[in-house]
Amino acid sequence: MRKILPGSILSYNQYGYLKVAKTIKSKCPKCGKSGEFTLKANFYQVRKTGVFAEGHCSECKKPSVFVIMINDYSDQKNQEQEAEVYIYDPSASRNRLDQIEQNKNMPRDLIRSYRSALNVSQSKDNSATAVMSKRVLESVLKNYLGETIKDKSLSQQFDQLPKHIDLTTPIQSLSHLVHPDSPFYEMLELEREIDDETAVLLMKLLEGLIEYLFVLPEVIRSVQDEIEKKLN
């Protein structure tokens, strides 16, 4: 997923106070050119916070998939909000793979199976994609659950997973960062000067936090909904 920045949104649809991108200029994942896409979203499930949309590239006419994040803005009534838009770009996934490979915490067998899954999905071998995806899921689970779960089903393993992962630490550590005596807090209060580099780091922190708390859980949830809808 690659986020579409507001500067690349050419026009909007207005739904009450919510602005949703209508046409977008973006690098096309299919032809690599800078194309224009008019988004057609499926809004009929309005309660979902992530909506899938499709747009055809003006250059190569091929479709790409977009995700529009319609968060709950009800606490900000009477204030104009803009929905975030992401494009599904496998080449962005490839860059992501490069990042993942640099990550020392990633188990090597997980990197190998994810790389294989990415390769077979890009060559449109759907059966191989299913097989490799299962291997990626098993590899993720094995990393956290160890060998003890050998005889357990995937479903049972996922049930166990939350007990073995600590998702709160990255959030808790922020408490230390924003402590009233910290230089960081002084900076937020404008009691300390902030240079360009720190401003960039600050924005990176916000981006990571928002992605961790809102974007990623929603992407997983809405993809899961979409898969269930498709297969049931």
Q: Among 54, 59, 186, 226, indicate the residue that binds Zn ion (CB under 5 A).
A: 59
Q: With binding defined as CB under 5 A, does residue 57 bind Zn ion? A: yes
Exposed / middle / buried, residue 66 (Cβ in 10 Å: 0-12, 13-18, 19+): buried
The amino acid occupying position 196 is D
Contact between 55 and Zn ion by CB under 5 A: the answer reads no
106 binds Zn ion (CB under 5 A): no
Distance of alpha carbon 11 from alpha carbon 126, whole angstroms: 35
Nearer to Zn ion, 33 or 112 (CB): 33
State the Cα–Cα distance between residues 150 and 170, nearest whole angstrom: 30
Please state the closest distance from residue 27 (CB atom) to Zn ion, in A.
Answer: 9
> Could you say whether residue 132 binds Zn ion (CB under 5 A)?
no
Minimum CB separation of residue 59 from Zn ion in Å reads: 4
87 near Zn ion, rule: CB under 5 A:
no
Nearer to Zn ion, 10 or 216 (CB): 10
- Two structure tokens written together for 112: 């190998």
Contacts of 170 (CB under 8 A, 6+ apart): 212
29 binds Zn ion (CB under 5 A): no
Contact flags string 30-49 toward Zn ion, x per CB under 5 A:
xx---x--------------
136 near Zn ion (CB under 5 A): no
CA dihedral 21, 22, 27, 32 (to 10 degrees): 150
Q: Does 28 bind Zn ion (CB under 5 A)?
A: yes
Q: Would you say 31 or 174 has its CB closer to Zn ion?
A: 31
Under the criterion CB under 5 A, does residue 138 sit at the interface with Zn ion?
A: no
Cβ-Cβ contacts under 8 Å for 40 (sequence gap 6 or more): 53, 54, 55
- In sequence order, the 6+-apart residues with CB closer than 8 A to the CB of 108 are none
Q: Does 65 bind Zn ion (CB under 5 A)?
A: no
Q: Which residues bind Zn ion (CB under 5 A)?
A: 28, 30-31, 35, 57, 59-60
